[in-house]
Amino acid sequence: MKIAFATGNKNKVLELKKILEKTNIQIIQKNIEIEEPRSESLQEIAITKANYAVNKLKMSVIVEDSGLFIDSLNNFPGTYSHWVYDKIGYIGIINLINKIKTRKATFKAVIVYLEPNKKPQIFTGEKQGTIALESKGVDGFGYDPIFIPKNETKTWAENPNSKNQSSHRQMAIKKFTNWATTNL
Amino acid sequence: MKIAFATGNKNKVLELKKILEKTNIQIIQKNIEIEEPRSESLQEIAITKANYAVNKLKMSVIVEDSGLFIDSLNNFPGTYSHWVYDKIGYIGIINLINKIKTRKATFKAVIVYLEPNKKPQIFTGEKQGTIALESKGVDGFGYDPIFIPKNETKTWAENPNSKNQSSHRQMAIKKFTNWATTNL
């Protein structure tokens, strides 16, 4: 069966295609313009976008969303992580919590799978960690240089293997692909 | 004639009512739920909201929006000023630009007046200034304790008279009421 992945990010599509290549599920990229609703819930945003995409494409879709939620900043930047990154970068985040002791943060991801006239299926992933005292590492993108996963000492930008193996996104993708290979 | 002011803020309504009390324009508050679109343009947001309000209320409406645009932060927090304030407060803004020399910022306001089946009328106001090195003053609200208007030395929270006389909002309100008393 064919599923549309509503995203502008080719790499995300290739990644998922590879995981599902020996199944009967075929992922195709649909780079459609979807208005991002204002909400503090990743899940709510992804469901709204999935409904929009299904109505537009008339086929089964998946939508993925993720964000960095920092405890001491009331979950800032959260669902606005991408926009905030464009404005103030990871250096902005370091400056914001410079004087704060609690540096706990959680990366969250959600994948919503939606078939026309069905209820959405929701798959979530989380990775707990802390915001580093200073940025370190050159790999990855976004907030990777300032995020240290729980029980580790290096940022994701220093240790991309850690991210590839156990990120919030990887967790959500695994849940989705496990479900999809059994149920679709 | 009656105009609905789509806002949850009673004080804004009272303020406008007072200015227009000797005219034939009657402002009534309509605290309707309007979804805030994601956009970096105050004007675009206000026009979208005004269209929604007119469709819902079937009468002429005004919508007002404002935000603080900081030069060295790529116009952050801008149209997300309210949300950002709830998350990181004005202290967050101070921490963000602590190490930056350029502290220029602009408060912007827009009022959109829309009659059913007409084009929107747009009234804007701006106030240039700088972000203070530290917060000062107890009056006002929001970012007032860290905003020093151009050619002044005190924050709006220290000198609320300055804000009452020449704020971005006051400028937009004056433009609207001048136009309204001639054209409506």
List, by residue number, the catalytic residues of B: 65
Q: State the CATH number of the domain containing residue A70.
A: 3.90.950.10
Chain A positions touching B73 (Cβ under 8 A) are 87-88, 92
Mean pLDDT value across residues A94-104: 90
Q: What interface predicted TM-score (ipTM) does this complex get? A: 0.85
Whether residues A76 and B84 touch (CB distance < 8 A) is answered with yes
Chain A positions touching B80 (Cβ under 8 A) are 80, 83
Which B residues, 73 through 92, put their C-beta within 8 Å of a C-beta on chain A? 73-77, 80, 83-84, 86-88, 92
Mean pLDDT value across residues A92-112: 94
pLDDT tens for B69-110 read 999 999 999 999 999 999 999 999 999 998 788 999 999 999
pLDDT tens for A26-80 read 999 999 999 889 999 999 999 999 999 999 999 999 999 999 999 999 999 999 9
Smallest Cβ distance to B96: which of A74, A83, A95?
A95
Chain B positions touching A95 (Cβ under 8 A) are 95-96, 98-99
Output helix, strand, coil percentages for chain A, rounded to the nearest 5. 40, 25, 35
Return the residue in B45, B96, B98 with the most chain A beta carbons within 10 A, the one to mutate for interface testing.
B96
Q: In degrees rounded to 5, what are phi and psi of residue A166?
A: -140, 30
Chain A positions touching B92 (Cβ under 8 A) are 73, 96
Q: Which residue of B has its CA nearest to A34?
A: B38
Q: How far is A87 from chain B (nearest CA, A)?
A: 5
Q: How many domains does chain B have?
A: 1
Residue A101 to residue B114: CA distance in whole angstroms: 49
pLDDT tens for A7-30 read 998 988 998 998 898 889 999 999
Q: What percent of chain B has pLDDT over 70?
A: 100
Residue B111: CB partners within 8 Å, gap ≥ 6? Answer: B46, B62, B63, B64, B122, B123, B124, B172, B173, B175, B176
The 3-class SS string of A76-120 reads CEECCHHHHHHHHHHHHHHHHCCCCCCCEEEEEEEEEEECCCCCC
Full residue range of the structural domain in which residue A156 is found: 2-183
pLDDT tens for B29-58 read 999 999 889 999 999 999 999 999 999 999
| A165 contact B CB<8A | no
Q: Which residue of A has its CA nearest to B36?
A: A38
